[in-house]
Amino acid sequence: MTPIADESQTATIHPPLQQFLEACHARFATDNAGKVADYIPELGKANPDLFGISLATIDGHLYEVGDTEVPFTIQSMSKPFAFALALDSLGAAAIEAVIGVEPSGDAFNSIRLNADNKPFNAMVNAGAITCSGLIVGAKGEWAFDFIRQGLSRFAGRELGVDEAVYASERATGDRNRAIGYLLRNSAVLRGDVGGVLDVYFRQCSILVTARDVAVMAATLANRGINPLTGEQVVAPYAVARTLSVMTTAGMYDFAGEWIYRVGIPAKSGVGGGILAALPSQFGFGSFSPRLDQHGNSVRGIQVCEVLSAHFDLHMLNRNGNSRTSVIADYDIGRGASRRSRRADEHTILRQHHGDVRVIELVGSLSFATIDYITRQVAGKALPQILIVDFRRVADVSSAAARLLADGLRELERFNITTVLSGLARSSLTWEAISQWTDGMTRVRNFVVLDEAIEWAEDQIVYRYGGRVDHGGEMPLAEQALLAGLSPDDLAAITGLGTVKKFTPGEVMIRAGEPGSSLFLIQNGQVSVRLPSGVRLAALTGGMVVGEMALLGDKRAADAIADTDVACLEIPVDRFRQFADQHPQVGKQMMQNLAGLLAGRLMRANVKVDLLSSD
């Protein structure tokens, strides 16, 4: 017999990416190629068998295998972060005036400048020393504290310094001194060369772990926002420029082959670390002190190559169908609001349903997706009101936000009102869009899509000569539940109940309670909401709330007065007695109830169809 599993034992499911990294660690841990850097004596003391892999997603999840908490010195991996900090604090113009952005093809410690007597880029020692010099010039004696604190913010924790490595670098740093004096001779570096180099040596001696490196890389991948702390460490423009230089020069004279084979912006350090940042996806960090002839970690290179090849992560081999950003596209004939309306309102909305168009979006919006959406809008009959819903959108790139704003301005030129829904004003998506839509008079914002559709419906009713009932007095004869009853029957029904009044915000019906009565609304407005707060319907005079009590059910939702409400409360037991005595009246009302429920079901089916259709 097959043994039955013990239900008291909970199986642990290992995510496939965790399993993949574990397999990589097991595969490459036995590769003893390469050697530990020894030109800085203190680095030569590293244990060559240490090996850690960490990957941080931009939503803050960490995958870790091996020696991911062992500290080691950051070395040249500090260069992109110092560069980003300098760009962010001093501005691009000041940095680009003295540091180039072209790859050199030389080793990281080459004593050579470009044709303009500037360092080739900020990833080689000459450029990194210049970057440190700029920070010294701006921050003075606080320059190193500024750099260390900045790197700590990238890592999401306080980082220390390996004083022994710092002393060793300082004692053996004559080649860097030669670079420093070459820079001063070319008027690139100003001030005390020794003081600048002291900051640079300390910067390279900052202690990190593979986990720290992954988080720091993920912060770059996340447009400068640390995925663990949520802090915006540097501005997105500084990140974009930093990743650009990492792409072309981060791996020194191996950079061309790296981008050809791996295709992810990266930076290595002779302490044995490698960081890689795939924009909008993840940050990678590894530690293994054995280096190849280029000064890059042998095992770290191998993991990156396999990771990129296995999951097809090369940044230039991307695909994406911009059409998948539109999850639903409809007018109010197919997707009306949850507001219950009178017959004359329904007539106007049915005749002019195409005047309101709703586009529901999903995922991350890029330049291409917004271009597709704007073409879809222009390719059909233009509505009077366009509603664009963002509640399922994860983020909007700056290019997408700018293109969207340009599209909204064009719609405004044709007197089309645009309503943006699903955007909390505190969200990053709203910030990205609002900076380009300021001053537009025909752009409105609603947090909830249903409220946006209801507002648009009201506008259409007004524009075509109708009036919207926001709770005016309504005689019982116009109650949908009482349709078809004679005046005598209506008078008898009236005698079953008592008039009750509610103030705004007062709960008329509470979910979970027994259904003991129904309410025929005479005036005012009532919202029917789930306990979660989701609005199911907005009801006004002439409508009924709590009618499911006639079927003996418990209350499924809350009914809350939006305004002052007056209604006729009819106890269910009294109605049943009346129905027993007047079976034809009872039958007519139950038929009316069936019609109301059928209408709700049809509207719900339409909503489902909208989300399942192309």
Indicate which residues carry an active-site annotation. 76, 79, 200, 252, 270
Q: How far apart are CA 58 and CA 282, in angstroms?
A: 5
Q: How far apart are CA 493 and CA 524, in angstroms?
A: 21
CB count in 10 Å sphere of residue 222: 27
Of 546, 536, 606, the closest CA to residue 570 belongs to: 546
Find tokens 């939503």 and name the residue: 59
Running DSSP on this structure, what letter comes out for residue 297?
B
Q: Which positions ≥6 away from 138 have C-beta within 8 Å?
A: 89, 90
- Angle of helix 583-612 relative to helix 572-581, nearest 10 degrees? 120
Distance of CA 191 to the CA centre of its chain: 44
Q: Are 323 and 309 in contact (CB under 8 A)?
A: no
Tokens encoding 300: 């770290």
Q: What is the CA radius of gyration of the chain?
A: 34
- Cα distances from 216 to residues 210, 211, 228, 523, 550, in angstroms, run 10, 9, 10, 60, 62
β-bridge mates for residue 574, sequence order? none
Find tokens 């009101």 and name the residue: 385
Q: How far apart are CA 285 and CA 283, in angstroms?
A: 7
Q: How far apart are CA 75 and CA 167, in angstroms?
A: 14
- Cα distances from 89 to residues 237, 271, 367, in angstroms, run 12, 28, 28
Q: Are 356 and 332 in contact (CB under 8 A)?
A: yes
Query: What backbone torsions phi and psi does residue 141 show, to the nearest 5 degrees?
Result: -65, -15
Q: Are 545 and 559 in contact (CB under 8 A)?
A: yes
Q: Which positions ≥6 away from 460 have C-beta within 8 Å?
A: 332, 348, 349, 352, 355, 356, 384, 385
Q: Are 253 and 55 in contact (CB under 8 A)?
A: no
- Cα distances from 176 to residues 29, 132, 350, in angstroms, run 33, 13, 77
Q: How far apart are CA 437 and CA 146, in angstroms?
A: 36
Exposed / middle / buried, residue 140 (Cβ in 10 Å: 0-12, 13-18, 19+): exposed
Q: Are 401 and 432 in contact (CB under 8 A)?
A: yes
Tokens encoding 466: 């109708």
- Cα distances from 470 to residues 297, 402, 503, 540, 541, in angstroms, run 70, 38, 15, 6, 8
CB count in 10 Å sphere of residue 489: 17
Query: What backbone torsions phi and psi does residue 82 show, to the nearest 5 degrees?
Result: -65, -40
Q: How far apart are CA 237 and CA 42, in angstroms?
A: 37
Residue 124 parent element (H or E): none
